[in-house]
Structure 1
Amino acid sequence: MKEIRPGRFLRFAGVALLALGFAANAAAQGHVHPHGSAKPAKPELGTSAAFAPDGSLYAVSKGGQHVLLYRSTDEGATWSEPATVNAAPEAISADGDNRPKLAFARDGGVLVSWTRPLAKPYTGEIRFARSDDGRQFGEPTTVHRDRREITHRFETLAVTGSGQVLVAWIDKRDLETAQADEREYRGAAVYAALSDDGGRTFRPEVKVADHSCECCRIAIANDTDGLPLVLWRHVFEPNERDHALAKIGPDGAAGEVTRATFDRWRIDACPHHGPSLAVAPEGTRHAVWFNEKDGEARVFYGRLAGGRVEGQRAIGGDRAAHADIGASGSRIAIVWKEFDGERTRLRGELSDDGGRHFRAIELASTAGASDQPRVLRRGDELFAFWRTGMEGMKGYELK
């Protein structure tokens, strides 16, 4: 199996494929690889950020064998000395699609999740810690009851409209069982666990769906009823890597799994390039994702409309990568990074009319390595957050 990178693709032997000419910007673009088989590029810059109820900006990242929590009161211009999330050192994943995550409980508690790699290659555990004050964290716990040395990785953390805490991740327990029984099984699975007490304890995990892609981030956004929608790259028969959507009920059970995108990318590999989802107040589901369509691999934007995609179009150029999306009222923001041959640029598009029209914006650039950008919301305001190896962690108001 060959490595795949965003860019110009060719087709051969019925299998979609191979990006050309990207060795020079491998670190800037990030790795895309078959079945999660390549280790993340160094330095590991995977960072998550979120605005706290008091309006300050928090960020979590890896520092050696610790997860570190930073706080900024000036929208990312300067940062406090970090608090240590896990007192006892342990292995931590911190690449773009598998980085520490951050959220805030309804009672103000700071919630942090991450993947702890285990000794066997491509295995891991989903770890979680809570702080009441943002400085002292309780002892980390493992979210799932299944403790086999298998894949539990690529977790996503969210707080639902009712205040429940949801963690979802990629899990290979069903693949392991199928292989032991000599049965065929495509991809991995998505599992999730809910907490009813602000992250102090979790219910037993529940399977959301079989046949997810093996190493793409999962997107979670609350629907208009407050229940979380989970969007992930799925392996549809015979081997189409499109996206699927499901809603998680207050009991933790997943509703019907529906197909969300229809690009029909046939490839036996994982692009390590997950989607992003934002739900507008009137219920429109705005999404960005990476796929191959009509022989060309691009980042796309579209509105997911129950069995079809409305307004689908390519975002940025043929080297655009790792887009994120956010919504505030009728304002929609998309950000992504894009290598221009010399520098990696943070670019974006803004809509003031619910996604009918967008205007382009240029935000920043770097000559070195960079993480994936994020869209953050503070009240009615939208921000971009981007960490680079040379410039550090920065916030950019989107207006």
Structure 2
Amino acid sequence: MNTLTPTLPGARPAIRVILAGLVACAALAAAGATAQTHGNHAGHGGQARTAKTSELGTGAAFDRDGKLWIAYKDGQYVAVRSSTDYGRSFGPARHVNGAPEAVAADHESRPKVATGRDGEIYVTWTQPLPTPWTGFIRFARSADGGKTFAEPLTVHANRDQIAHRFDAIAVDPAGRVFVSWIDKRDVAAAEARKQPYAGAAIYYAVSADHGKTFQGDYKIADQSCECCRIALSPTPDGRMLALWRHVFPPNARDHALALLGADGKATPMQRATFDDWRIDACPHHGPGASVAPDGTVHMVWFSVRAGKPTVSVGRWRDGKLQGQRPLEDARAQHADIVALNDDDIAVVWKSFDGQQTRLSAMLSHDGGKSWQTRRLAGTERDSDQPHLLQHAGRAYVLWRTEAEGFQVFALAQEGA
């Protein structure tokens, strides 16, 4: 597939062709990984203040006609581009916000795009506020296939100058738009009462009118992790699955899931992973989830097991975690997953071998029981997290790098 370097300050236009064929890759040597430890601001470590923050964060989605849409930061705007040839080329950028504003575009909190069943284009992003670690969840919609966008709105009814961040968006089969985010209003309320409160909370809102208005704010759970992305995936019964990193007593950073209803009623959360990683820090490393047609939740997540940083893949079915196994790549991080059907599952991740960051994928054709691992690409400069997409029964990977730009890879069976 082709790559397209976006219009960022100082960026040089570059287009290069990438063969879609995949080659087998061997497991990489083990490497350590660290979470961001707490500093003076609860939930955010000193590293969060001083580390270089990339602004390569990019969202992507296919529309009903197979057009690929990407959303990313362009200065004080969120821009979208589209491709009709699976990423070989992209059309011109369009800004979705008419007035400039702050836009978050790091790895865990990036602009996102989703598409509706009637050709709508939906974009969300976090707008950072002047106070550190605060923000609003913003939303823009196009009813004419991305030609024009309505004036952006703030999704949540609560307008306190607190953290509303790390937004996630998904559209259910009925066309309803779900937006979820991490919220600290309950932290502020607990502090006012001089009571302890671990982590943050997870909230969501729903639009049943193609993004014109949202109903909410609906709380899913208290005590979520503060800085890890949320995974949303529609379920066969018309609800929305949410998977997030949670703070379990006394301070275990595992994961929880719940089913979200369009009426604002969420099922009680269930613990979904049991690695019992106890750390007073935010890993900045959220999970991935995709619900298969048979209702199986396929998950991928980062944790530390027996002192070893590990990305694991597993299945949630009948209220139980099944088939948990670590990826073969001991350096794997920031993985994503998609279930194309009940049998065909794809996972993608990146890893750093000391010289370059490598992009790898693995495919299963038996519902996640066995896997084939393949190397896709590499870069010697900064990169975004890889994101898995699906269209017409096939998986695609979007990976944006500082040097190579936007890259799209079609995943196929060995030899295809």
| Alignment pair present for 1:260 and 2:272 | yes
The aligned amino acid for 1:325 is I
2:232, 2:242 within 8 Å by CA — same for their partners in 1?
yes
Deviation of 1:323 (Å): 0.2
Q: Which among 347, 351, 364 is matched to residue 334 of structure 1?
A: 347
Partners of 2:255 and 2:99 lie apart in 1 by 37
Classify the secondary structure of the residue corresponding to 1:204: strand
The alpha-carbon distance between structure 1 residues 207 and 128, as it changes in their structure 2 partners (threshold 3 A), is same
The aligned amino acid for 1:190 is I
Partners of 2:44 and 2:195 lie apart in 1 by 22
Structure 2, unmatched stretches of 5+, are 1-29
Q: Which residue of 2 aligns with 1:371?
A: 384
| Alignment pair present for 1:347 and 2:342 | no
Q: Which among 58, 78, 91 is matched to residue 67 of structure 1?
A: 78
Partners of 2:36 and 2:67 lie apart in 1 by 34
Deviation of 1:36 (Å): 3.5
| Alignment pair present for 1:300 and 2:318 | no
Q: Which among 207, 217, 241 is matched to residue 219 of structure 2?
A: 207
Deviates more, 1:309-318 or 1:34-43: 34-43
Q: Which has the higher contact order (CA 8 A, sep 6+)?
A: 2
Query: Structure 2 matches for 1:184-263, cutoff 5 A?
Result: 184-263=196-275
What is the alpha-carbon root mean square deviation over aligned residues?
1.4
Deviation per residue, 1:317-360 (Å, 9 max, x gap): 33211000001112100000011111111101001111111101
1:32, 1:273 within 8 Å by CA — same for their partners in 2?
no
2:37, 2:280 within 8 Å by CA — same for their partners in 1?
no
Classify the secondary structure of the residue corresponding to 1:252: coil
Deviates more, 1:39-48 or 1:105-114: 39-48
Partners of 1:322 and 1:48 lie apart in 2 by 14
What is the TM-score normalised by the length of structure 2?
0.87
Deviation of 1:42 (Å): 4.3
Q: Which residue of 2 aligns with 1:81?
A: 92
Partners of 1:49 and 1:316 lie apart in 2 by 27
Q: Which residue of 1 aligns with 2:62?
A: 51
1:335, 1:373 within 8 Å by CA — same for their partners in 2?
yes
1:303, 1:311 within 8 Å by CA — same for their partners in 2?
yes
Deviation per residue, 1:348-399 (Å, 9 max, x gap): 1001111111101111111110000011000211111100011111110111
Deviation of 1:307 (Å): 4.7
The aligned amino acid for 1:290 is F
The aligned amino acid for 1:332 is I
Deviation of 1:8 (Å): 4.7
Q: Which residue of 2 aligns with 1:103?
A: 114
1:159, 1:166 within 8 Å by CA — same for their partners in 2?
yes
1:260, 1:306 within 8 Å by CA — same for their partners in 2?
no
2:36, 2:281 within 8 Å by CA — same for their partners in 1?
no
The aligned amino acid for 1:129 is A
Deviation of 1:33 (Å): 5.3
Q: Which residue of 1 aligns with 2:334?
A: 322
Deviation of 1:108 (Å): 1.2
The alpha-carbon distance between structure 1 residues 350 and 163, as it changes in their structure 2 partners (threshold 3 A), is same
| Alignment pair present for 1:112 and 2:123 | yes
What is the TM-score normalised by the length of structure 1?
0.91
1:288, 1:300 within 8 Å by CA — same for their partners in 2?
yes
Q: Which residue of 2 aligns with 1:383?
A: 396
Deviation of 1:32 (Å): 4.5
Q: Which residue of 2 aligns with 1:135?
A: 147
Deviation per residue, 1:76-127 (Å, 9 max, x gap): 1221111111010000000111001110122211000000000001000000
Partners of 1:91 and 1:325 lie apart in 2 by 30
The alpha-carbon distance between structure 1 residues 42 and 172, as it changes in their structure 2 partners (threshold 3 A), is closer
Partners of 1:95 and 1:266 lie apart in 2 by 25
% identical aligned pairs:
50
Classify the secondary structure of the residue corresponding to 1:170: strand
Deviates more, 1:225-234 or 1:71-80: 71-80
